[in-house]
Amino acid sequence: GAVVSQHPSRVICKSGTSVKIECRSLDFQATTMFWYRQFPKQSLMLMATSNEGSKATYEQGVEKDKFLINHASLTLSTLTVTSAHPEDSSFYICSARDSSQGTDTQYFGPGTRLTVL
């Protein structure tokens, strides 16, 4: 199956710093990637849709200036958490859409655990 990687898998940072998370589709091209957030013992919540070559679209309540998304190529999307605060601590998961076989399936990365001190 299609493989999606994320880097780093875990990051600890100080409050006020920025953190960049990378999401890569390893064996397919993805014009669209998605970023989700998962709080402990809760479900995934869609944050934003990352579109290659255009601006990301954000879900209601997600601050676009805080969560910067860049989708510079067909295999890479980045999420930058700017001026991180402890309440941003969470598990961030990306997915990449594979539309190559006529169906629309999202493949998920392993996630990035962000802890803001």
Binding site for another protein (CB under 8 A): 1, 32, 34, 36, 42-46, 49, 59, 93, 95, 97, 99, 103-111
8 near 19, Cβ under 8 Å?
Answer: no
Whole-angstrom distance, CA of residue 98 vs CA of residue 65: 28
Please report how close the Cβ of residue 108 comes to another protein at its closest, in angstroms. 4
Other CB atoms within a 10 A radius of the CB of residue 17 amount to 12
Please report how close the Cβ of residue 46 comes to another protein at its closest, in angstroms. 4
Nearer to another protein, 15 or 42 (CB): 42
